[in-house]
Amino acid sequence: MNELIEFATIDCPSCGEPFEVEIDLSAGSQTLIEDCRVCCAPAELRIEIDAEGAIASIEAEPVNG
């Protein structure tokens, strides 16, 4: 079984700095919580995977609390 891992760069919703996240394309559209590499604040990433198995869009929002 192939693993489809892709790296994407997102802008941290807390500090605005870009950082890289690892996305498992085989899991389909998903929501991930990733800690910013720069300010360590958690960010909620809503990732949409299209029918071709590619990243359609990524939205990043700060996680409060």
Amino acid at position 59, single letter:
E
Q: Using the rule CB under 5 A, which residue among 39, 46, 56, 61 binds Zn ion?
A: 39
Contact between 15 and Zn ion per CB under 5 A? yes
**Closest-CA residue to 32 (of 48, 16, 19, 17):** 48
What distance in Å separates the CA atoms of residue 59 and residue 36, rounded to the nearest whole number? 14
Closest separation in Å from C-beta 39 to Zn ion: 3
Contact between 38 and Zn ion per CB under 5 A? yes
**Residues contributing to the site for Zn ion (CB under 5 A):** 12, 14-15, 36, 38-39
